[in-house]
Every structure is written in C-alpha cells, then in structure tokens.
Amino acid sequence: MKPMIAVLIAAALTLAGCNTVRGVGQDIEKAGDAIQKSTK
C-alpha cells in the first residue's frame, strides 16, 4: 500500500510540473508505466 501511495504522490507532482498538453501526455504515460511496474 505504501509504494502505491508514493507512486500516486510522484505522479501528482509530475503532473503539476508540466506546462503543455504534450507534457501532460508524457507525464500520464510515465505515471502509467510506474503503476504497471509497481503491480508486477
């Protein structure tokens, strides 16, 4: 449970840091990859 919370916090910080639509897409993709890795 704790690793998942850490991933969600990291994703939120990453999303807050992007300024463009392209950046949002890249950030969402990275967050998805991190979530997939944490579930394996």
Token pair, residue 35, equals 């979530």
Token pair, residue 9, equals 């916090």
State the number of CA atoms in the 13 A half-sphere of 33 facing the CB: 6
Q: What is the pLDDT of residue 31?
A: 83
Residue-level pLDDT, tens digit, the chain, 40 residues: 678 888 888 877 776 665 666 677 787 888 888 888 887 7
Spell out the domain ranges in the chain: 2-39
Closest by CA to 28, choosing from 15, 17, 19, is 15
Q: What is the pLDDT of residue 16?
A: 67
